Amino acid sequence: MSQITPAQQLFDLTGEVALVTGASSGLGRRFAQVLAAHGAKVVAAARRTDRLKDLAASSPNIAALALDVTDTKGIPAALDEAERAFGPLTLLVNNAGIASGGRIVNTAEGEWEQVIRTNVDSVWHLSRAFAERIIARKGAGAIINIASLVAGRVGLSSASYAISKAAVLHMSKAQAWEWARHGIRVNAISPGFIASEMTDDYLASPAGQEMIRRVPQRRSGQPSDLDGTLLLLASAKASGFMTGAEINVDGGHALA
């Protein structure tokens, strides 16, 4: 029997260099803080760089990076800049995303394209560029894609958002299958309704309150509810034999 690794070592991320997109607020900001608190060097990326300044100032393990994930041509230069901060990247958290509120026939002109560019195309291009670097240096790494409960529950959100997150789930499996032989693990987290700038107004509305009553745990989630899942998938010691997995963190909502 192999030696038992204490939990504090199991989730020690010392030596990992992570890029977290959409890190200026909400889940992305929390992800950056949690990874840094467990020893990883973290490049927190977002368009709203003013919001990243205090995040970077809060820890010597966090650096700020201006990044528009929809600018796919700028990705190589952005990754170069990220690696100048702390060295070669070993972990990518594809968190950046937007939600829209329209049904299909009411979707505003250009909204579908914007959602797909932000939620799907960025994951494709960033993951590919990240993987190319890992493969070129014959290293190892991990990608954590942030999907959603609504990827499998049409009707809980706008169609464009649900479709985009379903694409992220399937992409995660394709990435996992292709890159496993290169030492790259790819897994997805599917959160339920988590309190954030994106969801706060909805959760406070009558419709949101009614939705919460249908969640088996009878509550919405907090960003901290994702801490353990993030650390599990980020740590090669904890999840070295996991790839292509989806983990629901939704209070049982997928069962309802």
> Is 148 within the bounds of a domain?
yes
At 154, the pLDDT band (50, 70, 90 cuts) reads: confident
- CATH number of the domain that residue 175 is part of: 3.40.50.720
Rounding to the nearest 10 degrees, give the CA dihedral for residues 25, 134, 81, 58: 40
> Is 254 within the bounds of a domain?
no
> Is 82 within the bounds of a domain?
yes
> Is 121 within the bounds of a domain?
yes
Rounded CA-CA distance 65/68 in Å is 10
- Residue 107's pLDDT is what? 87
In this predicted structure, the answer to whether residue 1 has a pLDDT above a threshold of 70 is: no
Write down the catalytic residue from 130, 161, 179, 193.
161
- Residue 245's pLDDT is what? 98
Which range has the worst mean pLDDT, 119-123, 146-150, 209-213, 243-247?
209-213
Known active-site residue 161:
yes
Q: What is the pTM of this model?
A: 0.96
> Is 189 within the bounds of a domain?
yes
Q: 83-99, pLDDT tens digit by residue? A: 999 999 999 999 999 98
- Residue 103's pLDDT is what? 86
Rounded CA-CA distance 63/33 in Å is 11
> Is 212 within the bounds of a domain?
no
3-state helix, strand, coil in the chain (%, to 5): 50, 15, 35
Q: 155-201, pLDDT tens digit by residue? A: 777 899 999 999 999 999 999 999 999 999 999 999 999 988 778 88
Rounded CA-CA distance 229/91 in Å is 15
- Residue 211's pLDDT is what? 87
Instruction: Give the sheet arrangement for strand 91-94, strand by strand.
Output: 62-66, 41-46, 17-20, 91-94, 141-146, 184-191, 246-249
The answer to whether 151 touches 168, Cβ cutoff 8 Å, is: yes
Kindly report the average pLDDT of the chain as a whole number. 94
Average pLDDT for residues 58-71, to the nearest whole number?
Answer: 97
> Is 201 within the bounds of a domain?
no
- Residue 202's pLDDT is what? 81
> Is 207 within the bounds of a domain?
no
Average pLDDT for residues 104-120, to the nearest whole number?
Answer: 93
The structural domain count of the chain equals 1
Structural domain boundaries enclosing 64: 7-195+225-248
- Residue 203's pLDDT is what? 87
At 208, the pLDDT band (50, 70, 90 cuts) reads: confident
Q: 130-149, pLDDT tens digit by residue? A: 999 999 999 999 999 999 99
Q: How would you label 205-230 residue by residue, b for 16+ Cβ within 10 Å and e otherwise?
A: eeebeebbeebeeeebbebebbbebb
